[in-house]
Amino acid sequence: MGLISFIKNAGASLFGGSEAKAAPAEELKKELEKHGLDSSDIKIEVDGDKVKVSGAAKTQEEAEKIAIALGNTKGVGTVQNDIKPAAAAVESRFYTVVAGDTLWAIAEREYGKGHGDKFNVIFEANKPMLKNPDLIYPGQVLRVPALP
Domain with CATH 3.10.350.10 in the chain: 93-144
Q: Model-level pTM?
A: 0.89
Q: What is the pLDDT of residue 16?
A: 84
Q: Distance between CA atoms of 100 and 59, rounded to whole angstroms? A: 32
Q: Which of the following CATH numbers is that of domain 93-144: 3.40.50.720, 3.60.60.10, 3.10.350.10, 3.30.70.930?
A: 3.10.350.10
Number of H helices, E strands in the chain: 4, 6
**Tens of pLDDT, residue by residue, the chain (148 residues):** 789 999 998 888 888 888 889 999 999 999 999 999 999 999 999 999 999 999 999 999 999 999 999 999 999 999 999 999 998 888 999 999 999 999 999 999 999 999 999 999 999 999 999 999 999 999 999 999 999 8
Q: Give which of 22, 137, 141, 14 is closest to 77, Cα–Cα.
A: 22
